[in-house]
Amino acid sequence: MLQTINVDSALKDWAIEQRRHFHQYPELSGQEFNTGSYVRKALEEFGISIVEGFSEPNVIGYLQGTEGKKTIALRADMDALPMVEEGEKPFKSTVPGVFHGCGHDGHTAILLAVAKWMSSNRHEVKNNIKFIFQSSEEASPSGAQQLVKEGVLEDVDAIYGIHLMQNLPLGKIGFATGPAMHRAMTLISRLKESEGMEASRRQRWIQSIFLLI
């Protein structure tokens, strides 16, 4: 049965503050050392143990459940993209050419907020929880493969991850099993437009690009 948990708005405000911090200080794949140490410090403050032995800047936290029969992993990625952020906002990226354009700042902030909530509501947490703050999602091979090789899932019964989606209305969530997202890619295409190129040909070319992506 679905159980509803009420979360007070202070935690939401705290999560927004964290997300804006990560947004201002984005780091590229494999270089999330400041993000990783920020996360580690926060987990330690919540009294969540850090599981050592995994490559940095990955950070793995562990919370013992009240029953502890199963271990559930919750995973967030931490890397930003080599992109220039446009527009003006008080928490705009301070790192030239690096931008949290894929929302991983939000993922890290959300998982930290979950860790904060669980650490202060331990009696509600039946299963053991493994918090996986993963480096290098946007690189190939991804940091996930590296962590799996290092054994991060060996004692895990189930794993959940999220990805923010701009095309979902506020307040809605979607579910998918299996692969659901792909990494960022660069597509360079040139259209040699000769004078008199028919509009329908140009349209077909544009459509084929949309099909590709």
**Minimum separation from the CB atom of position 163 to Zn ion (A):** 6
Assess whether 157 carries a catalytic annotation.
Answer: no
- Tell me whether residue 59 or residue 102 sits nearer to Zn ion (CB atom): 102
Is 63 among the residues that bind Zn ion (CB under 5 A)? Answer: no
Instruction: Please tell me the distance from the alpha carbon of residue 17 to that of residue 93, in angstroms, as a whole number.
Output: 14
Are 135 and 117 contacting, i.e. CB atoms less than 8 angstroms apart? no
Residue number, nearest CB to Zn ion: 102
Assess whether 137 carries a catalytic annotation.
Answer: yes
Residue among 27, 77, 79, 105 flagged as catalytic: 79
Question: Over the Cα atoms of the chain, what is R_g?
Answer: 20
Instruction: Please tell me the distance from the alpha carbon of residue 89 to that of residue 115, in angstroms, as a whole number.
Output: 28
Q: Which of 3, 37, 9 is nearest to 22 (CA)?
A: 37
Stretch that binds Zn ion, among 16-24, 94-102, 165-173, 190-198 (CB under 5 A): 94-102
Is 102 among the residues that bind Zn ion (CB under 5 A)? Answer: yes
**Minimum separation from the CB atom of position 182 to Zn ion (A):** 9
* Number of other CB atoms surrounding residue 155 within 10 Å: 13
Q: Give me the residues that bind Zn ion (CB under 5 A), please.
A: 102
What positions carry a catalytic annotation?
Answer: 79, 137
